[in-house]
Amino acid sequence: MRSSNHLIGVLNFLTFLLSIPILGGGIWLSSRANNTDCLKFLQWPLIIIGISIMVVSLAGFAGACYRNTFLMWVYLFVMFFIIAALLGFIIFAYVVTDKGSGRPVPNRAYSDYYLQDYSGWLKDRVASDSYWRKISSCIRDSKVCAKMGRPFNGGVPETADMFFSRKLSSVESGCCKPPTECGFTYVNETFWTSSGGVVYSTDCYAWNSDQEQLCYSCNSCKAGLLANLRKSWRKVSVINIVILIILVIAYVVGCAAFRNNRRIDNDEPSGEARMTKSQPSRIHL
C-alpha cells in the first residue's frame, strides 16, 4: 500500500516537471508572437495545458501523500482530458503547418517565399485583409527589417554580393526586400530600385522602398510569416510529442497503482480464524 502511494507520488512529481517544458514552449511562442510571428492566439492553448498539468499534478501529489482517494481520482480523471487536449493540439499544429517552404534562388543563399505554396486554415487566416493589417503592423513595429543593415567602414552598406550570400530569415526575405523575380537593383538591404524590366507579379508593384511600406503588403511577406510559424510550431511539437509519450506512460502506471490501492483498501483483514463447519466432527472409538 505504502509503496503504491510512493509510486503515485513520484509519477505526479514527474508530470509536474513535464509541465514546465510545455509551459516554457507556450511562453517561447508568446515571445515569438511579440516579435516576428505576430500571431498572439496560438500560444494560449499550450500555456493553458501546461498550467493545467502543473495544478493537477500537485493535486495528485497531495492525494498520494495524504492517501486522499478523491484527489487521486480527480487527478486521473482530469489528466485524461489534458492528455487528449495535448494530443489534439499536436495534431492541429501539424495539420495547419503541413505544406509550404521557401524556394531556392539561383546565386542566392536565401530563399524566396510564395503564398500559393501554402494552403489550409492558417494560410486563409493570415492572408485575410482584416487580419493581415494587424500582423503587418506588428512586423513593422518589431523593426525586423531595420535590423538587417550591416554597415562597415564608417556606415557604408554591404555590397550586393555580400547581401546575396546572407542566409535571411523567411520574414526578412519575404517582407524586407522585393521578390527576386522582380529584377530590382540592390542599393542597400531595404532599398531597391526598379530596373524597368518586365514585372512578373503583383508583389513587384506592391514593393516600395519607403521604410514604412517595403513589402509589408506583399504576398511574399505573408508566405514568409507562414514559413516562420511553421518552423516555430514544428520545434515546439517535437518536444510536445516526447512529453506526450512520457505522460501516457506515467498515466497508465498511475492508473495501475491507483487500482492496486483500491484493491488493498477493499480487502478484509487477514489472520482471523473462522470455523468452516457448523458442528465439530464426532470422534468414534
> For 150-190, what is each residue's pLDDT tens digit?
777 666 778 899 999 999 999 999 999 999 988 899 999 99
80 and 177 share one domain: no
Q: Parallel, antiparallel, or unpaired for β 185-188 and 111-112?
A: unpaired
Backbone dihedral region for residue 249 (phi beyond 0: left; psi -120 to 50: alpha; all else: beta) = alpha
21 and 66 share one domain: yes
243: pLDDT strictly greater than 70: yes
User: pLDDT tens digit string along 59-118?
Assistant: 777 777 776 777 778 888 888 998 999 899 889 888 887 777 889 999 999 999 999 998
pTM of the full structure = 0.78
Q: Please provide the DSSP assignment of 117-184 as one string.
A: G--SHHHHHHHSHHHHHHHHHHHHHTTTTGGG---BTTTBPPPHHHHHTS---HHHHHHSS--GGG-P
- How far is it, in rounded angstroms, from Cα 194 to Cα 81? 57
User: Quick check: helix, strand or coil at residue 103?
Assistant: strand
90 and 28 share one domain: yes
pLDDT of residue 3: 61
8 and 91 share one domain: yes
What domain count does the chain have?
2
152 and 127 share one domain: yes
The boundaries of the domain holding residue 208 are 103-225
pLDDT of residue 264: 61
Give the mean model confidence (pLDDT) for residues 123-152. Answer: 86
Q: Give the CA count within 13 Å in the CB-facing half-sphere of 237.
A: 19
pLDDT of residue 35: 61
79 and 4 share one domain: yes
Give the position of cell 517544458: 21
User: Quick check: helix, strand or coil at residue 214?
Assistant: strand
Structural domain contains residue 277: no
User: pLDDT tens digit string along 193-236?
Assistant: 987 666 668 899 899 999 999 999 999 999 999 998 888 888 88
